[in-house]
């Protein structure tokens, strides 16, 4: 009779963490909401910014809604265009760079984490339980509430 081979114990995944309704934030959507907030503060329409970027307006819309994961190059391009618009329209030397935007996102994450929100790098279409997500106007309200003036 063959001997039983000693096997390591089977891997049993931990139970998934349960999040309350509207307590989970998608990072691409948070970054997009911050970019949209900057754009709105400058009173620039999506179509105007998209023309400047030489992008279709739908791509900018998807970026702001968090439907695509932004690359560093895309963020650099959008932030540079917003900074150029700020200098042209308001003669403001804001000097906005991508690291400033990401620092603001990091501050928002820190503040919202203290209030019990969790964050994940995923797009909404990949998330199995959409009722757990804080999205759209609810997310925009959280950003505006915590926005450094």
CATH of the domain at 104: 1.10.260.40
Tokens at 37, concatenated: 């907030």
Does any domain span residue 48?
Answer: yes
- Rounded to 10 deg, the angle between the 98-114 and 136-145 helix axes is 100
Give dist(CA 34, CA 12) in Å, integer: 39
Query: Over the chain, what is the mean pLDDT?
Result: 82
Report residue 93's pLDDT band, with 50, 70 and 90 as the boundaries.
low
Locate all alpha helices (DSSP H) within the chain, ordered by sequence.
27-41, 46-53, 57-65, 72-90, 98-114, 136-145
Does any domain span residue 5?
Answer: no
Report residue 1's pLDDT band, with 50, 70 and 90 as the boundaries.
low
Task: State how many domains the chain has.
Answer: 1
Which range marks the domain in which residue 103 is found?
24-145
Q: Is the pLDDT assigned to residue 64 strictly greater than 70?
A: yes
Residue 140 CB contacts under 8 Å (≥ 6 apart), including other chains: 33, 36, 37
Helix (H) or strand (E) holding 24: strand 24-26
């Amino acid at each position: 009779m063959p001997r039983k081979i000693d096997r390591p114990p089977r891997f049993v995944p931990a139970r998934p963490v349960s999040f309350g309704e509207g307590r989970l934030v998608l990072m691409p959507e948070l970054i997009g909401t911050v970019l949209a907030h900057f754009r709105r503060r400058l009173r620039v329409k999506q179509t105007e910014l998209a023309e400047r970027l030489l992008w279709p307006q739908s791509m900018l819309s998807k970026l702001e809604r968090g439907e695509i994961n932004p690359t560093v190059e895309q963020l650099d391009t959008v932030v540079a265009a917003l900074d150029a618009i700020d200098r042209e329209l308001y003669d403001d030397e804001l000097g906005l760079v991508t690291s400033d935007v990401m620092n603001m996102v990091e501050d928002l994450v820190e503040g919202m984490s203290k209030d019990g929100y969790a964050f994940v790098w995923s797009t909404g279409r990949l998330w199995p339980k959409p009722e757990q997500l804080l999205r759209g106007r609810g997310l925009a309200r959280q950003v505006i509430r915590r926005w450094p003036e």
